[in-house]
Homo-oligomer: A and B are copies of this chain.
Amino acid sequence: MKFCSACGAQEIELRIPEGDTLPRCVCARCGTIHYQNPKVVVGSLPQHESRVLLCKRAIEPRHGLWTLPAGFLENGETLEQGATRETLEEADARVELGALYTVISLPQINQVYMMFRARLLDLDFGPGPESLEVRLFDESDVPWETIAFRTIARTLRNYFLDRRLGVHPLHVSAIERRAPLPPDLLAAG
C-alpha cells in the first residue's frame, strides 16, 4: 500500500495506533487505519467410489502441479457456498458437500485453509479456466511428488489414512514454516 485509499495521500506510515498492539498502515494525513487480515481458502475433496478428484493447475503459483479444487472465500458467501463454487469453477464438478475436514493455519502467508469432504454428483467434470486437466485418482495413483501445496498433500494423506480407520474426524493444524523447495521446483522458479 503506497497511497491512502480514503484520502489519496502518499503518506502511509507503519505504526502502532493508540489503543492497539500491532503496527498498522496508518495515513498520516487523514488518520485512516488500514487493517490487513488473513484470507480464507475454501475447497473440497470430491470423491467418487474409491477415487478422489484432482485438478492440474493452469495458473501460477505451481502451474502444472495437482491440487484439490479450492480458492479464496468471497464476500457474501458462506464457507459451503465458497467450497461448492470453487469446485464448479475449477473442475466443472457438481458435489454434495460433507463435513468440514481440514482446517490449516498458514501464518507466514496469512491464509487459513478450510477443506470439506464432498461426493461427486455426476462424472461430467472437466477443466475450468484455471485447470489444465481434471482426473479421478485411486490412492495408489495419487501424484504425491507433484502436489501443488502442502495443505493439499496433508488433506489427502489424512483422508486416505482415515479411510482405512473408517472415521473422518476434523483435523485442525498449522504449517508454521515453509519447507525448502526441492531443487527442481527452485529451478522452475
A residues whose Cβ falls under 8 Å from a Cβ of B: 1-8, 10, 19, 21-22, 34-40, 72-81, 89, 99-100, 103, 105, 107-108, 110, 112, 114, 129, 170, 172, 174, 176
With both chains docked as a complex, state the minimum distance between the C-beta of A102 and any C-beta of chain B, in angstroms. 11
Q: Ordered nearest first, which 8 A-B pairs have the shortest CB separation?
A: A78-B105, A3-B8, A78-B174, A75-B110, A1-B5, A5-B5, A37-B39, A79-B105
CA distance A60 to B35 in the complex (A): 17
List B contacts of A75 (CB < 8 A). Answer: 36-38, 107, 110
List B contacts of A80 (CB < 8 A). Answer: 105, 172, 174
With both chains docked as a complex, state the minimum distance between the C-beta of A153 and any C-beta of chain B, in angstroms. 19
20 A–B contacts from the bound complex (CB under 8 Å): A2-B7, A2-B8, A3-B3, A3-B4, A4-B5, A5-B5, A19-B129, A22-B74, A36-B75, A37-B73, A38-B75, A40-B112, A75-B110, A76-B107, A77-B105, A77-B107, A80-B174, A81-B107, A100-B172, A103-B114
> In the bound complex, do residue A73 and residue B38 qualify as a contact, i.e. CB atoms below 8 Å apart?
yes
> In the bound complex, do residue B7 and residue A5 qualify as a contact, i.e. CB atoms below 8 Å apart?
no
> In the bound complex, do residue B35 and residue A38 qualify as a contact, i.e. CB atoms below 8 Å apart?
no
> In the bound complex, do residue B8 and residue A76 qualify as a contact, i.e. CB atoms below 8 Å apart?
no
> In the bound complex, do residue B21 and residue A89 qualify as a contact, i.e. CB atoms below 8 Å apart?
yes
CA distance A110 to B76 in the complex (A): 6
List B contacts of A5 (CB < 8 A). Answer: 1-5, 34
CA distance A39 to B38 in the complex (A): 7
> In the bound complex, do residue B100 and residue A170 qualify as a contact, i.e. CB atoms below 8 Å apart?
yes
With both chains docked as a complex, state the minimum distance between the C-beta of A48 and any C-beta of chain B, in angstroms. 23
List B contacts of A7 (CB < 8 A). Answer: 2-3
